[in-house]
Amino acid sequence: MDLSEFVAGFLAEADDLLALANSSLLLAETASKDVKQNPRAVREAFRALHTIKGLSAMVGVEPVVALAHRMEAVLRLADQGVMRLTPESVDLLLQGVRAIEQRVQALREGKTVAEAPVALLGQLKAIEAGLLAPRATAPAQLDLSPLLLARLLPMDREQLLQGIAAGRNALRADFTPSPEKAAAGITITSVREQLKAHAEIVKVLPLSVADTAEAPGGLSFVLFLLTDGTPATLSTLMIASGLTLTPLAAAPLPPARPDELAGEARARLSAQQVELAELEEESAGTRPGLVRVEVARLDDTMEKLSAFIVTRYRLMRAVTDLAATGVDVRTLKQIMAENAKQLRDLRAAVLHVRMVRMGEVLERVPLLVRGLRRNTGKQVRLVLDVGNAEVDKAVADRIFPAIVHLVRNAVDHAIESPQERRALGKPEEGELRIVCRQRGGNQLELCITDDGRGVDRELVARRAGREVPESDAALLDLLCLPGLSTRDQATTTSGRGMGMDIVRRVAADELGGELLLQTKLGAGTTFTLRVPLTITIIDAFSFECGDQRYVVPVSMVEEIVELDPARLAHTPGARFGASLVERSGEAIPVLQLAQIFGLSEKTPATRAMVIRRGGEATGIAVHRMLGQQEVVVRPMQDALVRVVGVTGATDLGDGRPTLVLDLAALAGAALAKEAA
């Protein structure tokens, strides 16, 4: 990005900010004429000028920086309640905005930007200096604990007091978030949204409180509200959120105390702390230092990177061609090698961004267990031993429902009721343990262990109408029969959702991992999920050739063209049914995939996928295109099936492998073999 791009960006933003500064100052002016302060307007104007200062410093427009700096200083004092804006001072600020507007305009027109007007700067500085003198103190004080008072900004206090003076209700609402509330969709954000419809929210303060059962996060919020309605209507509204409302009164201020000014200084000093608290509040829903990103954006990044990799291959080919003409390409090759390494690193970095901690994936499990405890009346202690393992977001999204199913099953079916456990001589409280480990280079092992009744082989066999299985593996096969339920009646918690067959399908068929079972009657059960840490997901076209389905990555197909038999020009020799077809004014060769595969296809192919083979566009004709979908690609590692043109296999949902083809390699190999 060069400077001119910066300037364009600055110009675009400056207009909006200046408009905001203007409107806010006009609001502040109205208030100042009534010897009042409009704290919101002051805050807005301050923020606008602060941002203008920062942006203009970035593009190096010093006169604007100087003006914005002085104006910001005045507004900061007003914002902190150290001074109250007078109509005269607002007028000077509005002059300042106009002066900035003129300079921004000059910059836009490419003219010389005039220096900041010295007189105006001096006057602004004078307000700043003059108003550092003690101000008239507020006539009343809020009836609050000193601790809370100190956390409120002077402008917030003033706004509340003004509200009370105007006959409105000032209220304090206390909200304590908890996982249960969050699960029910009640968070500080939702509370805010609901309150906003009925009250003016003056301030939201996060408070750190003792970590108790009532406040599991050790965090609580105090919201200061102004409302025109009665507190009663609000409180009925907020019962569902577990919000407590307390009216706030204005107490007469004790006679001026000598430490009044020191108090103001303290208030100013604590501005930084307040900012921190606000940050905390904002991040309460997320986490400090974390960015939440939609997976689609990550996929997009990966796709862009793939395009980059394709370009690189073309570059490599071009270099090879160049070398063939006798040009010395040694330096180019060195750069290419370096470039290849950087690309690999970049790819690894992007993949790393997609990884999520298993700790986060399992975050909602305690909540789930808590709910199950309540529904079943069973006593269960959840032990999570998660470690630092990280998995790709796509893997996490696929295994979480399976984990939920296994946890549900364990609490619902495996762990006995407290009475039953007591009778069996077991502790009344059952234990459910989830252990997560990284295994080998690219595998996650997740064990879900309960100390419940174990799986009854005979019962399962009877239900399945099969012989009693000898091994745990065979037992698992029975459990994974579609639709098998070990209960006469589905219970409320486990009755719905996926069955064991789906759990295994996700773990094994979809992700290429495995599901294992170890169980001992009366002692407990362990389900082990082994899944890869990362998987390759591609956007693919599926099609039919012969009686088989195949997929090919969308990224490898330039275009899909209709084949009109009447307009195909058959070439002499016609290996692989080769013909020529017109595509945007160019004749390109088309090969029949069926013939490359050595199949005799009677009906003519209707479509061809245009791919690029060594720079040359080639059509690969197929019998029938089926569609486009995202597929998980699994490697085909065994030497017996490692063949050119087949990069892996996927499962299109029928439980059998569908081959992922590299059409370019396939066509190339076939042509080369035929020629030899």
Partner 1 sequence: MTGTLHVVFKVGGSEYALPAADVLQMESFTSATPVPGSRPWVAGVMQVRGRIVPVVDARVRFGLPPLERTLDSRVVVAMHAERAVALLVDAAREVLKLDPSQIKPPPEIVAREAMGLVKGVAQVGPRIVMLLDFAKVIGEE
Residue count, binding to partner 1 (CB under 8 A):
34
Site membership for partner 1, residue 643 (CB under 8 A): yes
Candidate residues 100, 207, 267, 508; the one interacting with partner 1 per rule CB under 8 A: 508
Phi, psi of 629 (to 5 degrees): -160, 165
- With CB under 8 A as the contact rule, which of the stretches 149-157, 163-171, 436-444, 508-516 interacts with partner 1? 508-516
Q: Kindly tell me which of 450 and 662 has the beta carbon lying closer to partner 1.
A: 662
Q: Pattern of binders to partner 1 over 74-113, x per CB under 8 A?
A: ----------------------------------------
Site membership for partner 1, residue 442 (CB under 8 A): no
Centre a 10 Å sphere on the Cβ of residue 661 and count the other Cβ atoms it contains: 23
What residues from 113 to 152 belong to the interface with partner 1 (CB under 8 A)?
A: none
Site membership for partner 1, residue 658 (CB under 8 A): yes
Output the smallest distance, CB 634 to partner 1, in A: 6
Question: Cβ contacts of residue 73 below 8 Å, gap of 6+?
Answer: 124, 128
Output the smallest distance, CB 392 to partner 1, in A: 16
Output the smallest distance, CB 513 to partner 1, in A: 5
Beta bridge partners of 381: 431
Site membership for partner 1, residue 480 (CB under 8 A): no
| Beta strand pairing call for 607-613 and 586-592 | unpaired
Candidate residues 229, 548, 570, 616; the one interacting with partner 1 per rule CB under 8 A: 548
Site membership for partner 1, residue 634 (CB under 8 A): yes
Per DSSP, the three-state class of 600 is coil
Phi, psi of 415 (to 5 degrees): -80, 130
Residue 571, token pair as written in the block: 């070439």
DSSP per-residue codes, 424-443: TTS-SSEEEEEEEEEETTTE
CA dihedral for 632, 638, 640, 645, sign (positive or negative): positive
Candidate residues 644, 653, 672, 674; the one interacting with partner 1 per rule CB under 8 A: 644
Beta bridge partners of 376: none
Site membership for partner 1, residue 269 (CB under 8 A): no
Q: Kindly tell me which of 145 and 637 has the beta carbon lying closer to partner 1.
A: 637
Q: Kindly tell me which of 229 and 635 has the beta carbon lying closer to partner 1.
A: 635
**DSSP secondary-structure letter at 634?**
B
Q: Kindly tell me which of 121 and 596 has the beta carbon lying closer to partner 1.
A: 596
Site membership for partner 1, residue 465 (CB under 8 A): no
Output the smallest distance, CB 635 to partner 1, in A: 8
- With CB under 8 A as the contact rule, which of the stretches 182-190, 288-296, 614-622, 651-659 interacts with partner 1? 651-659
Centre a 10 Å sphere on the Cβ of residue 466 and count the other Cβ atoms it contains: 13
| Beta strand pairing call for 616-622 and 250-252 | unpaired
Do 589 and 572 meet the contact criterion of CB atoms below 8 Å apart? no
- With CB under 8 A as the contact rule, which of the stretches 102-110, 326-334, 425-433, 654-662 interacts with partner 1? 654-662
Residue in the block written with tokens 């364009």: 8
Site membership for partner 1, residue 401 (CB under 8 A): no
Do 157 and 142 meet the contact criterion of CB atoms below 8 Å apart? yes
CA-closest candidate to residue 619, choices 661, 644, 583: 583
Do 590 and 563 meet the contact criterion of CB atoms below 8 Å apart? yes
Per DSSP, the three-state class of 607 is strand
Q: Kindly tell me which of 514 and 601 has the beta carbon lying closer to partner 1.
A: 514
Output the smallest distance, CB 645 to partner 1, in A: 7
Site membership for partner 1, residue 511 (CB under 8 A): yes
Candidate residues 188, 191, 507, 517; the one interacting with partner 1 per rule CB under 8 A: 507
- With CB under 8 A as the contact rule, which of the stretches 78-86, 570-578, 602-610, 638-646 interacts with partner 1? 638-646
Site membership for partner 1, residue 289 (CB under 8 A): no
Candidate residues 389, 611, 649, 663; the one interacting with partner 1 per rule CB under 8 A: 649
Residue 527, token pair as written in the block: 């389900």
**DSSP secondary-structure letter at 35?**
T
Output the smallest distance, CB 648 to partner 1, in A: 8
Site membership for partner 1, residue 513 (CB under 8 A): yes
* CA–centroid distance for 277 within its chain: 23
Do 99 and 118 meet the contact criterion of CB atoms below 8 Å apart? no
Site membership for partner 1, residue 529 (CB under 8 A): no
Q: Kindly tell me which of 234 and 508 has the beta carbon lying closer to partner 1.
A: 508
Q: Is 146 exposed, middle or buried (0-12, 13-18, 19+ CB in 10 A)?
A: exposed
The 3-state secondary structure of 102-122, one letter per residue: HHHHHHHCCCCCCCCCHHHHH
Q: Kindly tell me which of 2 and 467 has the beta carbon lying closer to partner 1.
A: 467
Do 115 and 73 meet the contact criterion of CB atoms below 8 Å apart? no
What would you report as the CA-atom Rg of the chain, rounded to the nearest whole angstrom?
Answer: 35
Which alpha helices (DSSP H) does 188-248 contain, by range? 188-196, 231-238
CA dihedral for 589, 593, 598, 601, sign (positive or negative): negative
Q: Kindly tell me which of 488 and 638 has the beta carbon lying closer to partner 1.
A: 638
Q: Kindly tell me which of 67 and 594 has the beta carbon lying closer to partner 1.
A: 594
- With CB under 8 A as the contact rule, which of the stretches 15-23, 267-275, 406-414, 590-598 interacts with partner 1? 590-598
Q: Kindly tell me which of 35 and 644 has the beta carbon lying closer to partner 1.
A: 644
Output the smallest distance, CB 674 to partner 1, in A: 13
Q: Kindly tell me which of 271 and 646 has the beta carbon lying closer to partner 1.
A: 646
Q: Kindly tell me which of 522 and 635 has the beta carbon lying closer to partner 1.
A: 635
Candidate residues 597, 601, 613, 628; the one interacting with partner 1 per rule CB under 8 A: 597
Do 116 and 99 meet the contact criterion of CB atoms below 8 Å apart? yes
Candidate residues 255, 655, 675, 676; the one interacting with partner 1 per rule CB under 8 A: 655
Q: Kindly tell me which of 422 and 642 has the beta carbon lying closer to partner 1.
A: 642
Do 450 and 432 meet the contact criterion of CB atoms below 8 Å apart? yes
Q: Kindly tell me which of 404 and 516 has the beta carbon lying closer to partner 1.
A: 516
- With CB under 8 A as the contact rule, which of the stretches 34-42, 122-130, 566-574, 647-655 interacts with partner 1? 647-655
- Strand intervals (E) in 117-242: 140-142, 169-175, 200-208, 219-227
Site membership for partner 1, residue 598 (CB under 8 A): yes
**DSSP secondary-structure letter at 590?**
E
**Geometric angle at alpha carbon 473, from 467 and 478, rounded to 5°:** 45
Residue 38, token pair as written in the block: 């409009």
Can you state the percent helix, strand and coil of the chain, rounding each to 5? Answer: 50, 20, 30
Alpha carbon distance 621, 591 (integer Å): 6
- With CB under 8 A as the contact rule, which of the stretches 107-115, 185-193, 431-439, 644-652 interacts with partner 1? 644-652
Q: Which residues bind partner 1 (CB under 8 A)?
A: 473, 507-509, 511-515, 548, 596-598, 634-641, 643-646, 648-649, 651, 655-659, 669
